[in-house]
């Protein structure tokens, strides 16, 4: 990248969060249009312009960061350490605004409009001296895949807006992407390319979700569909759900859930914390959303929530207080229910860890009770490649498993330094083989589907990895 801009050449103002209804027509479903500053001079000939690259980040404070995972802003942390400041989990941790939709405007209109790159930067832009605006929105576009991240808000009297598409809203609310605008002034012409690091804007639920969604888009072999849009509501929980274990109805503002659309609200825990402050929860629900978009049938065939009352205490969630008790890392469920949740955990850990590391960090967002009787408060950190065989060791029952065991199994298929790892397309190929053959949604069905997918060759290196991972993780114990 080009060197950072020097003082005196370019002056950058403070970023501001634009009102969601800052345009009279509401900006449309894609969110508010950027407000433009009038440049002091029009674009001139090339000799009178400066080449700049604008880079920016999202603000995000998470309760489960700096736990050993790969993708955190360690440079930011090192700067804080150099200043003698203590580092705790809640450090404000800016993340590159990867693939965010952005506009640079001046007196002659838009200088550039498009998606930022994987580092959160524009391409090199040629601008004349003058005043400009740089507006970044929570609509992320990478190739033909889009994360469209909305907030919902009450309309301002006299202002029009886009009505929210969420079902059962408590009143006629509106929706919009968050937009952050920063002004900057190019004071004179320079010959070299200037990199301008624009400060991260105010922290919001949408900025936290965008931090994680951008990392998902940056993940190699990400597994997302092309030509597809993933819609997310960053400050509105599940539209409607009745908890069968308590009878409590979640209505718009509660909990987090992911299906064709993802929603993030407030926890059912006593503190009712914002679910977007837990980055592994964000990635978990985006994992469910990815399942739905890739193969919606994957979320059917399970659903025995909460665990059966007859299950041993070690395989239920009675001790959970940080969120709902419908499922937890150790609860025993039908094999496919465990798969649904284990998949989302797998998706979350791969979002924050290099694929080839042998100790990928998974931070669980509910309590975990270990065999010594200690109940560990979240985040509970575990190596996603370390087998625990929770169900075989604590409550074995045919065709049952846990999301912990499935997390380890799926991570072992795709990650680690061992050879012959399965790609995301190969993993989905096995799932599709399971569906197309109407095989049972159990370990035996999955193992048979894998064998068929890899040519019915029991010595195929990838089938062997699949089969051995199932046995080692405990999801394939004798039925």
- What pLDDT sits at residue 88? 46
- What pLDDT sits at residue 156? 84
- What pLDDT sits at residue 160? 85
Q: Per residue in 402-426, pLDDT tens?
A: 999 999 999 999 998 888 999 999 9
- What pLDDT sits at residue 168? 67
For the chain, which residues score pLDDT lower than 50?
A: 1-8, 23-44, 75-76, 87-91
- What pLDDT sits at residue 270? 83
Do the domain assignments include residue 187?
Answer: yes
Do the domain assignments include residue 393?
Answer: yes
Cis ω before 379 (30° cut-off from 0) = yes
Residues 166 and 46 grouped into a single domain: yes
Sequence-ordered list of residues with C-beta below 8 angstroms from that of 62, at least 6 positions apart, any chain: 89, 90, 93, 208, 277, 278, 279
Do the domain assignments include residue 119?
Answer: yes
- What pLDDT sits at residue 190? 78
Do the domain assignments include residue 356?
Answer: yes
Do the domain assignments include residue 372?
Answer: yes
Among 150, 179, 206, residue at a domain's last position: 206
- What pLDDT sits at residue 85? 54
Phi-psi region for residue 438, left (φ > 0), alpha (ψ -120 to 50) or beta?
A: left
Q: Per residue in 20-52, pLDDT tens?
A: 876 433 333 333 333 333 333 444 455 588 899
Number of domains the chain contains = 2
Q: Per residue in 193-231, pLDDT tens?
A: 889 999 999 999 999 999 999 999 999 899 999 999 999
* Domain assignment of residue 416, given as a range: 296-473
Do the domain assignments include residue 241?
Answer: no
Among 186, 206, 226, residue at a domain's last position: 206
Q: Which residue has the tokens 């030509």?
A: 227
Residues 175 and 322 grouped into a single domain: no
- What pLDDT sits at residue 89? 42
Q: What is the 3-state secondary structure (H, E, C) of the chain?
A: CCCECCCCCEEECCCEECCCCCCCCCCCCCCCCCCCCCCCCCCCCHHHCEEEEEEEEECCECCCCCCCCCCCCHHHHHHHHHCCCCCCCCCECCEECCCEEEEEEECCEEEEEEECCCCCECCCEEECCEEEEEEEEEEEEECCEEEEEEEEECCCCCCCCCECCCCCCCCCCEEEECEEEEEEEECCCCCCCEEEEECCCCCCHHHHHHHHHHHHHHCCCCCCCCCEEEEEECCECCCCEECCCCCCEECCCECEEECCEEEECECCCCCCCEHHHCHHHHHHHHHHHHHHHHCHHHHCCCCCCCCCCCCCHHHCCCCCCCCCCCCCCCCCEEHHHHHHHHHHHHHHHHHHCCCCCCCCEEEECCCEECCCCCEECCCEEEECCCCCCHHHHHCCCCCEECHHHHHHHHHHHHCCCCCCCCCHHHHHHHHHHHHHCCCCCCHHHHHHHHHHHCCCCCCCHHHHHHHHHHHHHCCCCCC
Residues 185 and 304 grouped into a single domain: no
Residues 468 and 350 grouped into a single domain: yes
- Other beta carbons within 10 angstroms of residue 474's beta carbon come to 23
Among 179, 206, 233, residue at a domain's last position: 206
Tally the residues of the chain: 479
Contact 430, 466 (CB under 8 A): yes
Residues 146 and 28 grouped into a single domain: yes
Q: What are the φ/ψ torsions at residue 108 (nearest 5 degrees)? A: -90, 10
- What pLDDT sits at residue 298? 87
Residues 435 and 308 grouped into a single domain: yes
Do the domain assignments include residue 67?
Answer: no
Do the domain assignments include residue 319?
Answer: yes
């Amino acid at each position: 990248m080009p060197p950072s801009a020097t003082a005196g050449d370019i002056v950058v103002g403070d970023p501001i969060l634009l009102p969601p209804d800052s345009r009279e027509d509401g900006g449309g479903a894609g969110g508010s249009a950027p407000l433009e500053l009038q440049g002091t001079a029009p674009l001139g000939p090339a000799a009178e312009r400066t080449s700049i690259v604008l880079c920016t980040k999202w603000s995000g404070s998470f309760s489960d960061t700096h736990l050993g995972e790969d993708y955190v802003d360690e440079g930011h942390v090192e700067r804080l350490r150099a200043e003698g400041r203590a580092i705790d989990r809640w450090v404000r941790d800016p993340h590159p605004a990867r693939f965010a939709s952005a506009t640079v405007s001046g007196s002659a209109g838009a200088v550039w409009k498009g998606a930022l790159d994987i580092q959160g930067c524009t391409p090199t832009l040629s601008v004349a001296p003058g005043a400009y605006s740089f507006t970044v929105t929570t609509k992320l576009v990478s190739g033909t895949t889009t994360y469209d991240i909305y907030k919902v808000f009450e309309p301002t009297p006299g202002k029009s807006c886009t009505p929210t598409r969420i079902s059962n809203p408590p009143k006629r609310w509106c929706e919009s992407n968050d937009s952050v605008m920063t002004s900057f002034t190019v004071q004179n012409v320079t010959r070299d390319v200037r990199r301008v690091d624009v400060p991260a804007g105010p922290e919001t639920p949408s900025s936290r979700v965008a931090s994680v969604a951008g990392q998902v888009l940056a993940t190699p072999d990400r597994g997302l569909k092309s030509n597809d849009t993933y819609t997310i509501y960053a400050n509105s929980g599940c539209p409607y759900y009745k908890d069968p274990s308590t009878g409590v109805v979640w209505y718009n503002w509660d909990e987090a859930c992911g299906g064709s659309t993802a929603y993030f609200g407030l926890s059912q825990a006593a503190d009712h914390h914002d679910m977007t402050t837990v980055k592994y929860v964000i990635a978990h629900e985006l994992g469910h959303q990815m399942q739905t978009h890739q193969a919606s049938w994957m979320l059917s065939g399970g659903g025995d929530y909460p665990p059966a009352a007859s299950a041993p205490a070690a395989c239920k969630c009675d001790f959970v207080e940080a969120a709902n008790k419908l499922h937890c890392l150790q609860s025993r469920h039908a094999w496919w229910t465990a798969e649904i949740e284990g998949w989302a955990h797998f998706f979350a850990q791969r979002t924050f860890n290099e694929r080839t590391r042998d100790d990928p960090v998974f931070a669980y967002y509910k309590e975990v009770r270990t065999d010594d009787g200690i109940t560990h408060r979240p985040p509970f950190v575990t190596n996603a490649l370390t087998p625990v065989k929770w169900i075989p060791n604590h409550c074995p029952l045919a065709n049952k498993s846990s999301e912990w065991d499935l997390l380890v199994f799926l991570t072992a298929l795709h990650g680690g330094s061992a050879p012959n790892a399965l790609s995301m397309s190969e993993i989905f190929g096995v799932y599709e083989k399971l569906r197309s053959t109407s095989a049972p949604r159990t370990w035996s069905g999955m193992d048979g589907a894998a064998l068929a997918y890899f040519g019915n060759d029991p010595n195929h290196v990838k089938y062997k990895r699949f089969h051995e991972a199932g046995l080692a993780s405990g999801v394939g114990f004798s039925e």
